[in-house]
Structure 1
Amino acid sequence: MKNLSVYLVFNGRCREAFNFYQSVCGGDLTFTHYGDFPANGSDAEADKTHVMNASLIINENTSILGCDTPAKSGGPTFGNNFHVMLNTSTKEEADQLFVKLSENGTVQMPMAQQFWGAYFGMCIDQFDVQWMIAYG
């Protein structure tokens, strides 16, 4: 396997979320919109400005992708069946990412040394996306 990417689906807040994720993780961010294509598959005026694809390339092996759902799909359902996992290079990087991602969100498990040996924490960001952050 070359790499693994996470693909997140939003209900009109994809641009806002990805701008936030870029402010936390850095990287190169690009967007395409449903309205950029003549046959975009949607008759809804709002869909024309919604994100068809967002791509945040953090490094050669790490990216986050996403989109807004078209109006005709009824929108996404957020649940507790996934987390985005970030493995960091240092404890300080883990703390920095955790603080930024949990701002205006919910801390589920504060960053702390765990019995399995990792420095680890969990939070839900302001867009209802669950994150696990680990060092070690």
Structure 2
Amino acid sequence: MQANAYLEFNGQCEAAFKFYEQNLGGQIIMMMNHEGLPAEDKQQIPEDMQNMILHARLDLGSTVIMGSDTPTNRPVKPQGFSVSLLVDTPEEAERIFKALSENGSVRMPIEETFWAHRFGMVTDQFGTPWMVNCEKTM
């Protein structure tokens, strides 16, 4: 079994996944908008959603992040979770944290803790909450 994060956006899914691909070092495997649906299915999609993302998948090594845009009448605000990134070096943690912080809001600055060489919490410019963690060996 594998558990993966599925993120929902308010029309920013494409921009978010391109940003994540560039800054997290992954690869977008799939990005499909509603416009690509078969004609009979496309008729059920409101006009203002045709160019929004139906499904996106970003592979990050052994981890996958998926996402989509929500219908315009059902905007979402992420709450009660964070996407946690476990990285190998303090330098990688700081680089990723800096990128995710750009136009976002820092919830806990990245710093050394009793369990980690670096740990920090941020909500990125797309509204996704992240934890960046470079653990110490115990």
* Deviates most, 120-129 or 31-40: 31-40
Identity %: 38
Partner residue, 1:97:
96
Of the candidates 51, 60, 69, which is equivalent to residue 53 of structure 2?
51
Partner residue, 1:109:
108
Compute the displacement of 1:47 (Å).
1.3
Aligned mates of 2:43, 2:97 — CA distance in 1: 38
Does structure 1 retain, via aligned residues, the 8 Å contact 2:70–2:76?
no
Does structure 2 retain, via aligned residues, the 8 Å contact 1:111–1:120?
yes
Aligned counterparts, 1:1-136, within 5 A: 1=1, 3-29=2-28, 30-38=30-38, 39-40=41-42, 42-59=44-61, 61-71=62-72, 74-115=73-114, 117-118=115-116, 119-136=118-135
Aligned mates of 1:25, 1:65 — CA distance in 2: 14
Give ranges in structure 2 of 5+ residues lacking alignment. Answer: none
Compute the displacement of 1:26 (Å).
2.0
Q: Deviations over 1:5-62 (max 9, x none)?
A: 1100111111011111111112221201111112146341121111000111111x21
Q: Aligned-pair RMSD on alpha carbons?
A: 1.4
Tell me the number of residue pairs that the alignment of Structure 1 and Structure 2 aligns.
Answer: 131
Does structure 2 retain, via aligned residues, the 8 Å contact 1:10–1:75?
no
* Deviates most, 40-49 or 29-38: 40-49
TM value normalised by structure 1: 0.89
* Deviates most, 3-12 or 89-98: 3-12
Q: Which amino acid aligns with 2:55?
A: N
Compute the displacement of 1:91 (Å).
0.9
Does structure 2 retain, via aligned residues, the 8 Å contact 1:42–1:70?
no
TM value normalised by structure 2: 0.88
